[in-house]
Structure 1
Amino acid sequence: MKHVRIGGYGPGIITEGATIEDGLTRVAAPSFLAAHPTLPVLYAAGELERGWLTAFQVRQEDLSPLDERPSEGDSPCHVAVSPDGGLLAAANYGDGTATLYRLDERGAFAGEPIVLRNEGSGPDPERQEGPHAHQCVFHDGLLHVSDLGTDEIRRYHHDGTRLESIPMSPGTGPRHFAFSDGRLYVAGELDGTVTLIDGDRRTVAPASRREGKNAPSHLQIDGEFVYVANRGPDTVSVLRAADLSPVAEVPSGGQWPRHFAIDGADLYVANQNSGAVTRFTLRDGVPEPTGEAYAVESPACVLIL
């Protein structure tokens, strides 16, 4: 049975269940969730000034605490588990620190963390006064970390050894990103763009064609399409993965779409400021409203299991 789990702000809730409204687990500001690839374990980032990472054992419909550790930074906003299930990475937005934890055979945290700090700034004095790690992605044997504050995708070996970063244009403010077919796609929160990096070739396109300021949030590749959520226009855009040409742009069904998840022909959008998760059906890659919306206080992340 499909389960949709939603991390949110407000009192801090992880919602679970086939209909989203089946159950609640209260945690401190679980703004992002990740699942272990082989074990019934769910991880949540507690987006607090003194950040926390919590592991939950998943038993049928219930979540029970398994382990908890500090994120070693300020305001963790993203967590990811390596494909082999041996590592968990967290991005701390507040101070730009990224953290790596080893995971044991139960999926619990093991040993001391590897703390990955950064220095630098960008041209936006309000948003880029220092590093701001935003997303962690395990890809091709490396850990990649987007840094909104320093306009780069940081790269590390799994032992924490740093490699040369992938630079972004000044003022991009890279937020979420994805790899597909040897290409890298990056959503720029500050300049409202999507950047396609294919070897030495770069293509930059607006994430939204609507007027007004846009702060893109989540980006995901599905087949031949790139999907990106637009905060401000409150839309979801569909671009062609080959060249970022526009395909469609539809209302997100709420306000401030912070995150979304695709599961087959279903698209779930977490509209943070209107307290709703809306479901769409994908037809030829284009989201069509189903009329279904689920009330969740300040939803920030959607995870489908």
Structure 2
Amino acid sequence: MSRPQTGTPTSGDLVIGGYTPDTDGSGPGLTVVRADPSGGLAPVAEAPASGPSFVVEHPELPLLYAVLERPDGGVAVFAEEPGGPRRLAERPSGGSFPCHVAIDPDAEWLAVANYGDGTVAAYRLDDDGMLAPDPLLFRNEGSGPDPERQRGPHAHQAVFGPDRVLHVTDLGTDEMRRFLPGMVPHPEGPVRLAPGSGPRHFVHHQEHWYVTGELDGTVRVYDEDWREVGGTAASESGEHNLPSHIAVSADGRHLYVGNRGPDTVTVFAPDGPRLERVAEVPSGGHWPRHFAVTPDRLYVAEQRSDEVTALDLVDGLPRAGVRAMGVGSPSCVLVRSRATATGDEGPV
């Protein structure tokens, strides 16, 4: 396999992943998007794939990795090229319905969260960023108090945290699973989180973990030892807000949470265990599944209204004047970190 050339990424600022007709969606696969300085969005390339519901990029090479969220599960590797992403390889995800993928900072491991059966898969990467023939597989057992959503394990998000320790939420068992560098299961086992919370996405910030509870509609705060020290409702709308993604601004002043029930984004000011609610604004579409934050904008994947919206940020707060671009069943927004091939201003 030839190594992709550096310095020749696709001419686009965002990469949108989503569901395709064979995975109960209407999207084309991957969509590369140009975002102009005013916030306007325009598609510039597409790449076919089967349900690429989450996408990450290699920290150094012009490569993209996408999970293929289907019953048999897959992981695809794409080269970023001026004409659009080109698929280089595809491997099994090691489980069913993979929904998240992460790459460690040293680009040695690619971790996959398989929602369907809870399996965590880890592929070793070679110097060219390609996947080893077979992954390490880590299965889980257990259930939670919700009889419909927690009959078994459901790995949901994988994040390499401090000291390169991999953390994986399990929505089905109310756990945080941990793996030491080299993909060694943590000797103390998984951390038990609030029963029935259904942990979904999470972020580490200033010695605290902030975790969205998909089933109980909360944002819970944990310290470095995973003791719960705070928390609040993710939305003021009440029950069934179904929080999705969570992220911290680059300056650390704001914490953003997507709420799929009321179609809003809540903004908090994080202060250790305290979360001060600053604002809750409409996301601009229906079912904000995921979003990406830049210093000036929030880009939101509105899964059920088939669009990506762009919300201006003024002093970190979303403002009116939403711009939208149509794309079928989007579920992930990746802001590319490398400059474009055309020499434009790059990611915004």
Q: What SS does the aligned partner of 1:273 have?
A: helix
In structure 2, what is the Cα distance between the partners aligned to 1:219 and 1:16? 23
In structure 1, what is the Cα distance between the partners aligned to 2:261 and 2:121? 31
Q: Which residue of 2 aligns with 1:143?
A: 166
Give the aligned length.
305
Q: Which residue of 1 aligns with 2:253?
A: 224
Matched, 1:215 2:242: yes
The gaps in structure 2 that reach 5 residues or longer are: 1-10, 22-27, 35-40, 337-348
Q: What SS does the aligned partner of 1:245 have?
A: strand
In structure 1, what is the Cα distance between the partners aligned to 2:192 and 2:65? 30
The gaps in structure 1 that reach 5 residues or longer are: none
In structure 2, what is the Cα distance between the partners aligned to 1:2 and 1:203? 40
Indicate which of 271, 276, 280 corresponds to 1:249.
280
Matched, 1:50 2:81: no
Percent sequence identity over matched residues? 48
Alignment map for 1:1-305 (pairs within 5 Å): 3-11=13-21, 12-18=28-34, 19-140=41-162, 141-163=164-186, 164-199=189-224, 200=227, 202-222=229-249, 223-242=252-271, 243-305=274-336
In structure 2, what is the Cα distance between the partners aligned to 1:206 and 1:167? 20
- Deviation track 1:250-287 (CA, whole Å, cap 9, x = no partner) reads 00111110000011211100110000111011112211
Please state how far the C-alpha of 1:212 moved relative to its aligned partner: 4.3
Contact 2:46 2:85 in 1 (8 A): no
In structure 2, what is the Cα distance between the partners aligned to 1:255 and 1:302? 15
In structure 2, what is the Cα distance between the partners aligned to 1:228 and 1:82? 24
Please state how far the C-alpha of 1:182 moved relative to its aligned partner: 1.2
Between Structure 1 and Structure 2, the one with more strand by share is 1
In structure 1, what is the Cα distance between the partners aligned to 2:176 and 2:240? 24
Flag the structure with larger Rg: 2
In structure 2, what is the Cα distance between the partners aligned to 1:61 and 1:153? 40
TM-score normalised by length of structure 2: 0.85
Which 4+ residue blocks in structure 1 deviate beyond 2 angstroms? 158-161, 198-201
- Deviation track 1:142-170 (CA, whole Å, cap 9, x = no partner) reads 11000000101100123332223222110
In structure 1, what is the Cα distance between the partners aligned to 2:177 and 2:322? 40
In structure 1, what is the Cα distance between the partners aligned to 2:320 and 2:12? 20
Question: What's the C-alpha RMSD, in Å, of the aligned pairs?
Answer: 1.3
In structure 1, what is the Cα distance between the partners aligned to 2:113 and 2:314? 34
Query: Residues 249 and 61 of structure 1: is their aligned pair in 2 closer, same or farther, counting only changes over 3 Å?
Result: farther
In structure 2, what is the Cα distance between the partners aligned to 1:90 and 1:7? 16
